[in-house]
Amino acid sequence: MKIILASASPRRKELLKEIVKDFEIIPAVGEEKADMTLPPEQIVCTLAEHKCGEVFEKYPDCIVIGYDTIVYFNGKVLGKPKTKAEAVLTLRELSGNTHSVYTGVCVRSADKLLTEYERTEVTFNGLSDEFIKNYVDGGSPMDKAGCYGIQDGGVVESYDGSYTNVVGLPVELVRKMIEEVLR
């Protein structure tokens, strides 16, 4: 059965290749809507289901996998920055602190719908203003929830949980969910 990744993220594409050798990429394009007052795990699961469902409507004979990742800190969701100034503020806020990264995953076939999430705790190094400026000017924060990539050097001091979750695709969870759908 054909598998579809409902995401254009190059990082998710690379991680999914660790589980599935052959799949197609058809990103969801609809507006992301979720009640941001919900607990973070419900937010990511709702958004993942929405993305998965949008693509599944067009390809009901396939297995579709949808995702959403958020950074959650001090009771609020930190999404992708709209400007460099917003990225600087977010990185300053996270500097030297611990936050949570949640990824919701929805895997859907004609007869099964599974939705789960992964949570990882991430602690940042203390980031100097010069480091933040250079990091933002380099462009890496601009397409990432929380304005950083765990794979980028110098940002993350430590993490507790799934590394691949922070990248945007919790490999072990997704592997388990795909196996369940194929049963």
Task: Give 101-131 pLDDT, tens digit per residue.
Answer: 999 999 999 999 999 999 999 999 999 999 9
Residue range 24-83, pLDDT digits in tens: 999 999 877 888 889 999 999 999 999 999 999 999 999 999 999 999 999 999 988 999
pLDDT at 34: 82
Q: Dihedral of CA 84/102/105/175: which sign?
A: positive
**Residue 143 above 90 pLDDT?**
no
Residues 89 and 86: their CA atoms lie apart, in Å, by 5
Domain count, the chain: 1
SS3 60: coil
Segment holding 130, helix H or strand E: helix 129-137
* Mean pLDDT taken over the chain: 95
**What's the CATH number where 135 sits?**
3.90.950.10
Retrieve residue 129's tokens: 């203003």
pLDDT at 31: 76
Residue range 6-26, pLDDT digits in tens: 999 898 999 999 999 999 999
Residue 68 bears catalytic tag: yes
pLDDT at 36: 84
Q: Where in the sequence is the domain holding 162, given as residue range(s)?
A: 3-182
In the chain, DSSP assigns E strands to 3-5, 24-25, 63-73, 76-78, 98-108, 113-124, 156-160
SS3 139: coil
Strand partners, 112: none
Given the residues 22, 35, 68, 137, select the one marked as catalytic.
68
